[in-house]
C-alpha cells in the first residue's frame, strides 16, 4: 500500500513538473518577445544636453518636443541639431509591470521541476518526507553564503573599476592644451541625504567650445563648486580637443570629506586587497615557522636517539 502511494505521488509530481516546464517555455518566450520587441517613435529634437558626473564620465541626451529623454551616442549627439527629426525605441522595459510579472512566474513555475527532482533524490537516498523541505532549507543555507560572496566581489569590481575610470578620466581631462572659460549657470540642484546615501550637487550651465558652438551640460560638482556656482557664472576648463571633459576650478575643505564619502567603495576595495595579502603573508610566514619548528624538533629527537 505504501509503495502504491509512492508510485501515485511520483506520477502526480511528474505530471505537475512537465506542466510547469511547458509553462516555463511559454513564459520564457513571452519574456523574450517583451524584451526584443521595439516601440519605434519619431519626434523633433527640442534640446541637447551632456551629463558629466563627478569623476568625468559623460552621457549624451536628446530631449524631444514630446518630453522624451533619449540616450544617444556621442556621434549621434553631434550629428543631430535642434529641429532635426530623431527615430528611437520608446520602450520602457523596467517600467512595464508585465516584465516583473513574467520574472515572478518563471520562478514560480520552476518550483514544479525542483520539487520533482527533490522527490527523486529522496527516493534514491531513502530520506523519507524530508524532500519537501529541501527547496526551502537549501536556499536558506546557501543563499547567504552566495550573497556574501557576491557582495565582496561586487565591492572589489566596483571599487577597482571606479579607480580605473577616475584615473583615466583625470588624465584625459588634464592633458593637452586647456581652454578656460566662464560658463553661464542656468539651473542648480543640491540634495543632502543621510548616512546611508550620498549627497548630490548639480549645476546646469551653458558654454562654448573653441569653435563657438554652444553646449548645454549638467555636471555633478563638489560642494565648494556648487556653493560658488549658485551665482550666474562658474569658471571651467576643458581640453581644446574634447570640450565635454569639463573640470571646475577651486577646492574647499568640505570637498575632502565629500570625496572620501564618494570614494568609500574604492577605499574598501583597497583595504580588502591589503587585508587579503596581509593574511596570505602571515599564513605563509606561520607555515614556514611551523616547518622550521618541526624540522628542529625532528633534529633534536634524532640527536637524543643517537646520544642513547
Nearest Cα to 49, choosing from 180, 202, 178, 235? 202
Check residue 216 and give its pLDDT: 94
User: What's the pTM value of the predicted model, to 2 decimals?
Assistant: 0.66
Letter string b/e over residues 108-119, b meaning 16 or more CB atoms within 10 A of that residue's CB:
ebeebbebbebb
Distance CA 55, CA 263 (A): 10
Instruction: Find the helix or strand (DSSP H, E) in which 108 lies.
Output: helix 97-125
Owner of C-alpha cell 574647499? 252
Nearest Cα to 22, choosing from 132, 110, 119, 117? 110
Check residue 217 and give its pLDDT: 93
Distances 301 to 224, 273, 287, 297 between C-alpha atoms, Å? 72, 42, 21, 6
Q: What is the pLDDT along the chain (308 residues), one digit of tens a residue?
A: 466 766 777 778 888 888 888 988 988 888 888 887 777 888 899 999 999 988 888 899 999 988 888 889 999 998 999 999 888 887 777 767 788 888 888 888 888 888 777 777 777 666 555 555 556 566 656 667 777 788 888 888 888 888 888 888 888 888 878 888 888 888 888 777 666 567 788 889 999 888 888 999 999 888 877 776 556 777 888 998 889 988 887 676 777 777 787 788 888 888 888 888 888 888 888 888 878 777 777 776 676 776 66
Check residue 60 and give its pLDDT: 95
Distance CA 204, CA 216 (A): 7
Amino acid at each position: 500500500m505504501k509503495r502504491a502511494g509512492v508510485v501515485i505521488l511520483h506520477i502526480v509530481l511528474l505530471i505537475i513538473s512537465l506542466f510547469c516546464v511547458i509553462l516555463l517555455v511559454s513564459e520564457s518566450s513571452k519574456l523574450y518577445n517583451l524584451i526584443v520587441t521595439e516601440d519605434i517613435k519619431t519626434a523633433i529634437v527640442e534640446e541637447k544636453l551632456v551629463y558629466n558626473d563627478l569623476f568625468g564620465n559623460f552621457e549624451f541626451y536628446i530631449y524631444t518636443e514630446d518630453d522624451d529623454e533619449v540616450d544617444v551616442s556621442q556621434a549621434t549627439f553631434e550629428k543631430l541639431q535642434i529641429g532635426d527629426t530623431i527615430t528611437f525605441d520608446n520602450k520602457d522595459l523596467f517600467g512595464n509591470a508585465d516584465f516583473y510579472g513574467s520574472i515572478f512566474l518563471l520562478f514560480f513555475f520552476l518550483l514544479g521541476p525542483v520539487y520533482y527532482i527533490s522527490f527523486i533524490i529522496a527516493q534514491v537516498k531513502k530520506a523519507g518526507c524530508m524532500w519537501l523541505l529541501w527547496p526551502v532549507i537549501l536556499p536558506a543555507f546557501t543563499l547567504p553564503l552566495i550573497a556574501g560572496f557576491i557582495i565582496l566581489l561586487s565591492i572589489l569590481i566596483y571599487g577597482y573599476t571606479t579607480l580605473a575610470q577616475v584615473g583615466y578620466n583625470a588624465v584625459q581631462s588634464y592633458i593637452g592644451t586647456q581652454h578656460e572659460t566662464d560658463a553661464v549657470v542656468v539651473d542648480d540642484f543640491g540634495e543632502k541625504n543621510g548616512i546611508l546615501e550620498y549627497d548630490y550637487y548639480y549645476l546646469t550651465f551653458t558654454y562654448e567650445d573653441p569653435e563657438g558652438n554652444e553646449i548645454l551640460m549638467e555636471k555633478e560638482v563638489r560642494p565648494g563648486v556648487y556653493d560658488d556656482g549658485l551665482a550666474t557664472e562658474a569658471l571651467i576648463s576643458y581640453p581644446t580637443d574634447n570640450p565635454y571633459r569639463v573640470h571646475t576650478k577651486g577646492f574647499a575643505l568640505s570637498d575632502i570629506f565629500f570625496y572620501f564619502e564618494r570614494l568609500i567603495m574604492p577605499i574598501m576595495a583597497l583595504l580588502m586587497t591589503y587585508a587579503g595579502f596581509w593574511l596570505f603573508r602571515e599564513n605563509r610566514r606561520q607555515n614556514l615557522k611551523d616547518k622550521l619548528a618541526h624540522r628542529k624538533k625532528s633534529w633534536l629527537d634524532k640527536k637524543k636517539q643517537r646520544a642513547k
